[in-house]
């Protein structure tokens, strides 16, 4: 890997990678380097989070608690959730957006390159800090990723440095990193667009990043505030959330979900953006209803701020609040539906190329429809009261965060791999990866729905034998899902070393990132492009002969 990049880099300044491999381990301020740093780092955390999940599924293979002890089990699911959300999806999306947004809007870099690098470099130490809690006395935090008090401030180990305090510190650091990213993305998108790149000529991916990052800026402080108060309660003996000393644990739940519900959309919106890039490219159609899809991104962001109480229907939530938040939660379906219908109409009557990114995108959309429908069900108060905190919720949630968002992330990796590395990935291996993932994902997460309907609670380390059948299916699916990353890793490393060289625009796609070399030169473009056509212009004949277009 290192040789090919170094050699070609020195031979051809413009068309070949001109980033020395050492830069990827340095405090580089190039948004592309930072983007790759984010994506590779977070993928390592994804593998760690996945391993934790496989231990969890190993434990749940049998009704008894026999693989790990109960407190370690609690630590495992707490860290699995935390790693996957705060160290995989959110920062991976930040990395992808880091790489793509300046290219897509025709900018040379992000608005604040140094801030950008600082934001990234907070992530590895925060992640290592979090994982180090396996080594402290009493083990990692055991209160679940939402860390509700009073359970989270019980501190069973009795030590001042304990799993929970490390958890709080780590999540706070990751939050600060996200805020830095948010400021940077919003400034970049608002101020640094190329001439002619009006808001309604921006790719949907950029729209979705803008909406997601606005949510980060607006809602994240609520979580940071909540966990700082939690830290005071845990370490300094304050009583913000201690019910027996006149504190109120429910206030924590409100503060927590005020961020953590919108966080779902911080994760999902970029995934929707990815679908909107890939489906038109491989259907050879313009994105149907571009304007409404763009506005729907904002609509989703806006409505999602007013739905947080649906996580608390079974908490001490009064009736009026239950009803109000039931209606607002269901309303999210409207802008989300607009997106789904637009994707479907884009695929309809197209000329479909079922290459790996397209397979991941279509698979993700189909599973998103399923997850969205169960989401509406959960918004319905009477039904939610039955399945709240059961595996039905776990199933729904994973259909969104894994089967939609992680599928979209894989779609994105394959789609932009040629652009980022200058080489093509191996299509056959990509398809194997897709089918293993798609089958594994459904085998793992579908059985959770019947389990939840039957009343199996989440977070249990042992369960009644009546639930074993579906649990075996889910566990075997989970192991398959774990294995499915192996062809992916092999493909990525192999293709980076030996892959065929990629052209400017192997998918004959629209978008400014496809008009510069693969990989793009420093500062992205030979000269700043001028945009004078609508996005997703798949009617453009020149796209059918992209090599010619690239030479222009």
Partner 1 sequence: MRKIFNSLLLAAFIAAIMIIARWIGHQAYSWMPTQATAEAKRVDDIFSFLTSVGAFIFLGITGIIGYSLLTCRATRGDWSHGHPARSDARIEILWTVIPTLLVLWLAAQSYNIYQQLNIEGLSPIVHLHMLEEPAVAATVKSDINQLAENIEVIAKQWVWSFRYPNNIVSNELHVVVNERTRLNLHSQDVIHGFYIPEFRLKQDIVPNRNIDIVLTPTQTGKYRLRDSQFSGTDFALMQADVYVDSSEAYSQWLSQVAKRK
CB of 381 to partner 1, least distance (A): 5
Return the half-sphere exposure (C-beta side, CA atoms, 13 A cut-off) of residue 233.
29
CB of 443 to partner 1, least distance (A): 18
Q: Pick the closer one to partner 1 by CB: 396 or 398.
A: 396
CB of 362 to partner 1, least distance (A): 6
Of 191, 33, 49, 188, the residue nearest 120 (C-alpha): 33
- Here the tokens at position 121 are 């470099």
Of 535, 527, 525, 514, the residue nearest 197 (C-alpha): 535
CB of 465 to partner 1, least distance (A): 12
| Ramachandran region, residue 455 (left: φ > 0; alpha: ψ -120 to 50; beta: rest) | left
Q: Pick the closer one to partner 1 by CB: 128 or 385.
A: 385
| Residue 513 · residue 101 · CB < 8 Å | no
Q: Pick the closer one to partner 1 by CB: 274 or 365.
A: 365
| Residue 147 · residue 86 · CB < 8 Å | no
Q: Which residue has the tokens 């791999």?
A: 417
The Cα 361–Cα 488 span in angstroms is 16
CB of 266 to partner 1, least distance (A): 23
Could you tell me which residues are beta bridge partners of residue 457? 390
Q: Would you tell me how many other CB atoms lie within 10 Å of the CB of residue 548?
A: 9
Q: Pick the closer one to partner 1 by CB: 523 or 540.
A: 540
Q: Pick the closer one to partner 1 by CB: 27 or 435.
A: 435
Q: Pick the closer one to partner 1 by CB: 188 or 374.
A: 374
Q: Pick the closer one to partner 1 by CB: 126 or 543.
A: 543
Phi, psi of 150 (to 5 degrees): -80, -10
Of 474, 462, 469, the residue nearest 395 (C-alpha): 474
Q: Which residue has the tokens 């637009």?
A: 342
SS (H, E, C) 309-348: HHHHCCCCCCHHHHHHHHHHHHHCHHHHHHHHHHHHHHHC
Q: Provide the 8-state DSSP code for 493.
A: H
| Residue 412 · residue 100 · CB < 8 Å | no
Burial (CB < 10 A; 0-12, 13-18, 19+), residue 314, is middle
Q: Does residue 10 have a cis peptide bond before it, meaning omega lies within 30 degrees of 0?
A: no
The Cα 488–Cα 203 span in angstroms is 27
Q: Pick the closer one to partner 1 by CB: 25 or 320.
A: 320
CB of 70 to partner 1, least distance (A): 5
Q: Pick the closer one to partner 1 by CB: 158 or 382.
A: 382
- Here the tokens at position 310 are 């649906």
Q: Pick the closer one to partner 1 by CB: 19 or 442.
A: 442
Of 351, 137, 152, the residue nearest 247 (C-alpha): 152
Q: Would you tell me how many other CB atoms lie within 10 Å of the CB of residue 44?
A: 13
CB of 214 to partner 1, least distance (A): 22
CB of 453 to partner 1, least distance (A): 5
Q: Pick the closer one to partner 1 by CB: 27 or 159.
A: 159
The Cα 346–Cα 163 span in angstroms is 48
CB of 50 to partner 1, least distance (A): 22
CB of 335 to partner 1, least distance (A): 8
CB of 178 to partner 1, least distance (A): 26
CA angle 171/174/178 to nearest 5° reads: 135
| Residue 261 · residue 307 · CB < 8 Å | yes
CB of 498 to partner 1, least distance (A): 23
Of 25, 31, 192, 1, the residue nearest 520 (C-alpha): 31
The Cα 234–Cα 224 span in angstroms is 15
Could you tell me which residues are beta bridge partners of residue 140? 163
CB of 449 to partner 1, least distance (A): 8
CB of 143 to partner 1, least distance (A): 7
Q: Pick the closer one to partner 1 by CB: 3 or 244.
A: 244
Q: Pick the closer one to partner 1 by CB: 267 or 543.
A: 543
Burial (CB < 10 A; 0-12, 13-18, 19+), residue 30, is buried
């Amino acid at each position: 890997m290192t040789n090919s990049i170094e050699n070609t880099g020195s031979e051809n300044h413009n068309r070949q990678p001109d980033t020395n491999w050492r830069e990827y381990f340095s405090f580089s301020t190039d948004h592309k380097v930072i983007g790759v740093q984010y994506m590779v780092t977070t993928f390592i955390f994804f593998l760690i989070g996945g391993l934790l999940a496989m231990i969890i599924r190993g434990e749940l293979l049998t009704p008894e608690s026999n693989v790990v002890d109960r407190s370690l089990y609690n630590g495992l699911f707490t860290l699995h959730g935390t790693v996957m959300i705060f160290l995989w999806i959110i920062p991976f999306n930040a990395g992808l957006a880091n790489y793509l947004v300046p290219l897509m809007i025709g900018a040379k870099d992000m608005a604040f390159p140094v801030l950008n690098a600082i934001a990234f470099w907070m992530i590895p130490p925060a992640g290592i800090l979090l994982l180090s809690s396996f080594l402290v006395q009493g083990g990692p935090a055991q209160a679940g990723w939402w860390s509700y008090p009073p359970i989270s401030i019980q501190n069973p180990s009795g030590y001042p440095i304990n799993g929970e305090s490390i958890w709080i510190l780590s999540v706070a650091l990751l939050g600060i990193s996200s805020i830095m990213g948010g400021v940077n993305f919003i400034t970049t998108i608002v101020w640094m667009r190329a001439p002619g790149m009006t808001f309604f000529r921006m790719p949907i991916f950029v729209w979705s990043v803008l909406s997601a990052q606005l949510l980060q800026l607006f809602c994240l402080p609520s979580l940071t505030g909540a966990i700082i108060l939690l830290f005071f309660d845990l370490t300094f003996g304050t009583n913000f959330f201690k019910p027996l000393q006149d504190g109120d644990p429910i206030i924590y739940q409100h503060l927590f979900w005020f961020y953590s519900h919108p966080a779902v959309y911080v994760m999902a919106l970029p995934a929707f953006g990815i679908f909107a890039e890939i489906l038109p490219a491989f259907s050879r159609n313009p994105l149907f209803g571009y304007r409404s899809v763009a506005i729907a991104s904002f609509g989703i962001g806006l409505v999602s701020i007013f739905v947080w109480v649906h996580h608390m229907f079974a908490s001490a939530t009064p009736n009026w609040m239950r009803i109000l938040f039931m209606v607002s939660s269901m309303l999210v379906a409207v802008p989300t539906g607009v997106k789904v219908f637009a994707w479907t109409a884009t695929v309809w009557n197209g000329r479909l190329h079922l290459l790996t990114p397209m397979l991941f995108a279509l698979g993700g959309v189909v599973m998103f429809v399923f997850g969205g429908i169960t989401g509406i069900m959960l918004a319905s108060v009477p039904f939610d009261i039955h399945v709240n905190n059961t595996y039905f919720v776990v199933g729904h949630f994973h259909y969104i965060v894994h089967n939609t968002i992680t599928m979209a992330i894989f779609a994105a990796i394959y789609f932009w791999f040629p652009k980022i590395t200058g080489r093509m990935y191996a299509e056959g291996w990509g398809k194997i990866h897709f089918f293993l993932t798609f089958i594994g994902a459904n085998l793992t997460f579908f059985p959770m729905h019947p389990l939840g309907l039957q009343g199996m609670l989440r977070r249990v380390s042992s369960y009644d034998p009546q639930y074993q059948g579906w649990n075996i299916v889910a566990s075997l699916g989970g192991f398959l899902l774990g294995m499915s990353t192996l062809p992916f890793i092999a493909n990525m490393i192999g293709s980076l070393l030996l892959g065929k060289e990629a052209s400017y625009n192997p998918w004959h796609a629209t978008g400014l990132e496809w008009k510069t070399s693969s990989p793009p030169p420093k500062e992205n473009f030979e000269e700043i492009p001028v945009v004078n056509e609508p996005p997703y212009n798949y009617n453009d004949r020149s796209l059918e002969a992209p090599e010619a277009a690239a030479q222009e």
